[in-house]
């Protein structure tokens, strides 16, 4: 087995944390800033690469870091290693409400493609790279742009996504999805987009101009609440300049402001 073997426990319901248990000398890699707590004896260090390839030259590490920067992620991946005696634990959490998805990479043929901010942490030996959508239409209108993440390995990896997570198994079927709701899918799945109905439906249906289409045989993970949708709703109901806010229940909201001293 190439990857380190790690045990884990997912804690919580909607604001989940994954607690990873490491044997002495075992390492887990994670996105910068994802750690919540860790036992004494675990040390951490930021690296340009994921550590999946021993003896990799600095040029390749810099190219990999540049790819991560293009995708909007940190240049560095943090490595947490148990340098103590006995088993030690370190915990990681997502930066927004949602679920953590544990992936035994062997069950996915050692590879899965996910949205560019889905990766949370993984056993050392897991390779985290970027991949590009080959179809121009998908790149411009597919919700995630040209850049996706590719996770490769034979150990445990963990993704996170917003809201409730739904796992679907396709067997030569076609699934139409809101472009922001895709979390991950098997490499065997064909990813494309299509127009969301007629012109009236596209502009006034409230479902966006395009839908994603996943077709083939493999596994698909979907999220009920993309972070972009959550952020948009928060911004629409945030106070305007001058302290006045807009949003649902404006009359009752005004009374609430008065009672609250606003």
Q: What is the pLDDT of residues 164-206, one digit of tens each?
A: 899 999 999 999 888 788 999 999 999 887 766 555 444 544 4
For residue 158, CA distances in Å to 184, 211, 258 come to 12, 27, 46
Q: List, for residues 132-150, the tens digit of each pLDDT value.
A: 665 544 444 444 445 788 9
Q: Give 196's DSSP letter.
A: -
195: CATH: 3.60.160.10
Q: Which tokens is 113 given?
A: 């493609």
Q: Which residue has the higher pLDDT, 136 or 103?
A: 103
pTM of the entire predicted model? 0.77
Are the C-beta atoms of residues 152 and 185 closer than 8 Å to each other?
Answer: no
Distance (Å, whole) CA 73 – CA 32:
9
Query: How many domains does the chain divide into?
Result: 1
- Going by pLDDT thresholds of 50, 70 and 90, the confidence category of residue 242 is low
**Position 186 in a domain:** yes
Distance (Å, whole) CA 180 – CA 154:
28
**Position 257 in a domain:** no
Q: Are strands 127-132 and 147-152 parallel, antiparallel or unpaired?
A: antiparallel
Domain encompassing residue 52 = 7-230
**Position 58 in a domain:** yes
Beta strands in 59-155 (DSSP E): 77-82, 88-93, 98-104, 111-114, 119-123, 127-132, 147-152
**Position 245 in a domain:** no
């Amino acid at each position: 087995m190439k990857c380190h073997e790690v045990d884990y426990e997912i804690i919580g319901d909607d604001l989940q944390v994954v607690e990873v248990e490491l044997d002495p000398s075992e390492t887990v890699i994670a996105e910068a800033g994802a750690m919540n707590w860790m036992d004494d004896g675990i040390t951490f260090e930021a690296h340009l690469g994921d550590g999946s390839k021993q003896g990799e030259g600095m040029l390749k590490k810099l190219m990999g870091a540049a790819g991560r920067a293009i995708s909007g992620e940190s240049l560095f991946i943090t490595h947490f290693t148990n340098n103590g005696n006995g088993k030690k634990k370190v915990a990681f959490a997502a930066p927004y409400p949602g679920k953590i998805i544990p992936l035994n990479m062997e069950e996915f043929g050692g590879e899965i493609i996910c949205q560019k901010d889905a990766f949370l942490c993984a056993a050392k030996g897991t390779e985290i790279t970027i991949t590009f959508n080959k179809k121009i239409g998908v790149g411009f209108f597919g919700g995630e742009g040209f850049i996706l993440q590719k996770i490769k390995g034979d150990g445990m990896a963990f993704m996170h996504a917003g809201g409730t997570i739904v796992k679907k198994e396709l067997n030569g079927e076609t699934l139409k999805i809101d472009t922001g709701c895709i979390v991950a899918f098997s490499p065997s799945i064909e990813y494309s987009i299509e127009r969301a109905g007629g012109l009236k439906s596209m502009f006034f249906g409230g479902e966006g101009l395009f839908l994603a289409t996943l077709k083939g045989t493999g596994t698909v993970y979907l999220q009920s609440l993309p972070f972009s949708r959550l952020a948009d709703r928060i911004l629409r109901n945030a106070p305007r300049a001058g302290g006045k806010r807009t949003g649902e229940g404006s009359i009752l909201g005004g009374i609430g402001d008065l009672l609250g001293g606003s």
